[in-house]
Amino acid sequence: MPLIAGNWKMNGLAADLDQAQVVAAGVGAASTARVVLCPPATLLARMATVLTGTPVLVGGQDCHDQPRGAFTGDVSAEMLADAGASLVIVGHSERRAAYGETNATVAAKALAARRAGLEPIICVGESRAERDAGRAIDVICAQVAGCVALPLAAGAFAIAYEPIWAIGAGLTPTAVEIAEAHAALRGALIDCAGGRGAAAPILYGGSVNPGNAAEILAIADVGGALVGGASLKAADFLAIVHAA
Ligand code: PGA
């Protein structure tokens, strides 16, 4: 079952919770996709309440690797779970760039998610310069090797392939490039996590919209989508869910 995840990033106030309700009404119990919305931490508990009894799950956008402590401004995986989250995005390229998150940091966050009973969505992706230099596949496979620690294989997790240059840019790789990346990631995942690596969904992310979702989701080994901008409007996000 494909996983369609909406990443609201630093967007969303209480007034926007009605978008989540519209999504839930449109997804329906017979959905052929698993659907998760990842609002800012301030909205998570309220969104979880609004979505109780619906098939739409709630996820975090990041977590600290420690369960509690003197980490001003941070949120732990346990706190996200306590607020109603089922999943959490870790290692988004915006956090790698803005906060210097390394593969080791991301690996620790993914394990923290596992500890708290959350399913981590681990993001990888190459820069434009890395792709132009012919290094995209090496970079993303090294990210998987550095972020997917063996204990993760004890439970469910997902990977999101998000070329940095495609995010929020209205640009996407070609279908051949996406297929090539996902095939390489599958090999790297099997090397790191065996059977769980073979089963983990590999989402594509980066400028997914209602117009390109069906084509992208039909590519071999694309197990869903991580959607940023188009997840903010319920109608657009639902169109992507229905393309899955
Ligand atoms: P986008 O963002 O869909 O707006 O390109 C995707 C993401 O950053 O997860």
pLDDT tens digits, 36-71: 999 999 999 999 999 999 999 999 999 999 999 999
Which residue has the CA at smallest separation from atom 2 of ligand 1? 228
Average pLDDT, the chain: 97
Which of 124, 162, 165, 217 maximizes ligand 1 atoms within 8 Å of its Cβ, making it the mutation to test the pocket?
162
Q: How far is CA 16 from the centre of its chain?
A: 21
Domain with residue 197: its CATH number is 3.20.20.70
The total number of structural domains in the chain stands at 1
pLDDT tops 90 at residue 29: no
Which residue has the CA at smallest separation from atom 9 of ligand 1? 228
Domain holding 207, by residue range, is: 3-243
Which residue has the CA at smallest separation from atom 6 of ligand 1? 228
Q: Which residues pair with 124 in a beta bridge?
A: 161
**Which residues are within 8 A (CB) of 138 and not within 5 positions of it... i.e. 6 or more apart?**
none
Q: Which pLDDT value is given to residue 31?
A: 86
Q: Which pLDDT value is given to residue 184?
A: 98
Name the nearest CA neighbour of 78 among 65, 91, 93, 97: 65
Check: pTM over 0.95? Answer yes or no: yes
What atom of ligand 1 comes closest to residue 208's alpha carbon? Answer: 3
| Ligand 1 center from residue 226 Cα (angstroms) | 7
116-158 tens-digit pLDDT: 999 999 999 999 999 999 999 999 999 999 999 888 878 899 9
Name the nearest CA neighbour of 120 among 193, 48, 42: 193
Please confirm, yes or no, whether 180 is among the known catalytic residues. no
